[in-house]
Structure 1
């Protein structure tokens, strides 16, 4: 098995654009960090952050070029998310989710894309894939009623992408669809009361007998197999594998949270002693030195797994080849590994830094809470991802989850 960390087809122009976009994100880190506590207290990302990200063009990276977007590869997407998370986990998370929902929207047919971006190319999309609703087929589409949680980015979006079940003649679920709905057709129920990622405003979307036209629906079942509605088959980005994309993007914020924790502990070590020891500073203590080395290595490992997965997704899309089940299972494994390594690095750094890591005044405790919360997202569940990969290695496919 080859291990690649960037797609072989990446050009100097691609890498220059990546460096530019990551540089734009890096410049925003001080602002996001300064606003992180307020975003948490307000339970939504402050508008100053959203405006700054918009002005930096970082909401356009997954939008089609036809609507003024950049259509960057997934390695770039990961790096942008990572940088934003160095400043604020909640801001990175909602940006990541709105960007990937723009990618999902790019899988729809032309009319649906025109509905979302035709008059307002800057429109943002939030989404929940779970089919937690009821849909009734009517002439020209569906009438939908239901609730969807947790809709990260819904506080800053003009459209929503939500899942609905499609029942067969026997009353059993025969398909699952993603549907595009204007936020004006929905209400938001304030339900996001959590320990971490408090600023994401990942509240519950509510629909009551709303009509969704057929052209704003795509099948999840066929999308998982690489069959989507967009007629623009020359757009490389939207040939990327459905579930690998949905999972991997969620690793980006974890990489940045871990890096932020490492940077903070290294910065503070020369200024902190270790209570009840003879060490004047943490810098002098082998226990701290070893912990930092372990954490840094874990963070490196997280990056390596995430970047390999991104390279596999990007390379297959550029070659116009849809990855087979086993290749997609490996991406899920890499995603789970990246999330696990990043989370473990943060835990190691919390212990090295000491009990004051848990002081409310310390950014470390917010980083830790954000990581612990976000890393439990069902699509990146490391244990399920490991099971998917393990069964795949044994030639057993499709026995754990449809999301591969």
Structure 2
């Protein structure tokens, strides 16, 4: 590290704690044994998952673990004040007294906890499959779509929690705004690429349907 310099290029709205700055090696000698080449795909672009068909999916799940914790953190913040925080410009003394607020809180709580359980289950299924290579393109695409679905639920849930808490949630000393920023930045991580993941899944589904049938063999923990 004494031969390297750090350019503080990580200037983003969320995930500031990652410290993802640029490390620069200018004129530093790198021995050949410390170099490696990525295998290339059919279009001569780096094929990062060649021979490891679930590698990218498993890495994506690892990244989303941080977003799960942000969602749980946001839930904890609102849960701590739901019986004491008064909804502004209402006759209620607390959010808990409002039937509508209770409904929104229940919906958000269920979204967070059920999505967390889905993520843990998905990680277990992928971990059970990693040593083998018996994974179809459709299977891999289906697993990535599941990650997309889970993250979208986290985002919706935290938006509901912000609606409940109100404007003061955006005060810089309120952890809720930090969870919100981290979640929304992380949900756009390059490994997820929601629109492309959905596009690829839709293409595979329509191709399979056009071929006269669709069968997705979903991995299970029992396997």
Partner of residue 342 from structure 1, selected from 154, 175, 181: 154
Within 5 Å, which residues of 2 pair with 1:61-210? 183=1, 186-209=4-27, 210=29
- How many angstroms does 1:368 deviate by? 0.8
Counterparts of 1:327 and 1:244, CA distance in 2: 11
Indicate whether 1:225 and 2:38 are aligned. no
Counterparts of 1:220 and 1:306, CA distance in 2: 30
Alpha carbons 1:262, 1:349 under 8 Å: kept? yes
Cα gap change, 1:311 to 1:212, in 2 (>3 Å): same
1:299 matched residue in structure 2: 112
1:332 matched residue in structure 2: 144
Cα gap change, 1:359 to 1:252, in 2 (>3 Å): same
- How many angstroms does 1:258 deviate by? 0.7
Cα gap change, 1:220 to 1:353, in 2 (>3 Å): farther
Counterparts of 1:309 and 1:384, CA distance in 2: 20
Counterparts of 1:385 and 1:301, CA distance in 2: 22
- Matched position secondary structure for 2:89: coil
Cα gap change, 1:326 to 1:184, in 2 (>3 Å): farther
Q: 1:332-354, CA deviations, whole angstroms, 9 ceiling, x for partnerless residues?
A: 11111121111111111001111
2:172 matched residue in structure 1: 360
Alpha carbons 2:104, 2:160 under 8 Å: kept? yes
1:393 matched residue in structure 2: 205
Structure 2 unaligned spans of 5+: 41-46, 209-223
**Aligned residues: CA RMSD:** 2.2
Counterparts of 1:373 and 1:315, CA distance in 2: 29
Counterparts of 1:389 and 1:305, CA distance in 2: 19
Q: 1:263-296, CA deviations, whole angstroms, 9 ceiling, x for partnerless residues?
A: 2111111111111111111111122111111112
Alpha carbons 1:337, 1:382 under 8 Å: kept? no
Counterparts of 1:248 and 1:263, CA distance in 2: 22
Structure 1 unaligned spans of 5+: 1-182, 228-239, 397-404
Q: 1:115-171, CA deviations, whole angstroms, 9 ceiling, x for partnerless residues?
A: xxxxxxxxxxxxxxxxxxxxxxxxxxxxxxxxxxxxxxxxxxxxxxxxxxxxxxxxx
1:124 matched residue in structure 2: none
Counterparts of 1:345 and 1:290, CA distance in 2: 12
- How many angstroms does 1:383 deviate by? 2.1
- How many angstroms does 1:304 deviate by? 4.2
Cα gap change, 1:218 to 1:301, in 2 (>3 Å): farther
Could you tell me the TM-score, scaled by structure 2's length? 0.80
- Matched position secondary structure for 1:188: strand
Counterparts of 1:189 and 1:200, CA distance in 2: 14
2:219 matched residue in structure 1: none
Cα gap change, 1:363 to 1:223, in 2 (>3 Å): closer
Q: 1:218-263, CA deviations, whole angstroms, 9 ceiling, x for partnerless residues?
A: 4254551226xxxxxxxxxxxx822112211111011111111112
Could you tell me the TM-score, scaled by structure 1's length? 0.46
Partner of residue 66 from structure 2, selected from 246, 249, 253: 253
Alpha carbons 2:15, 2:186 under 8 Å: kept? yes
Indicate whether 1:211 and 2:64 are aligned. no
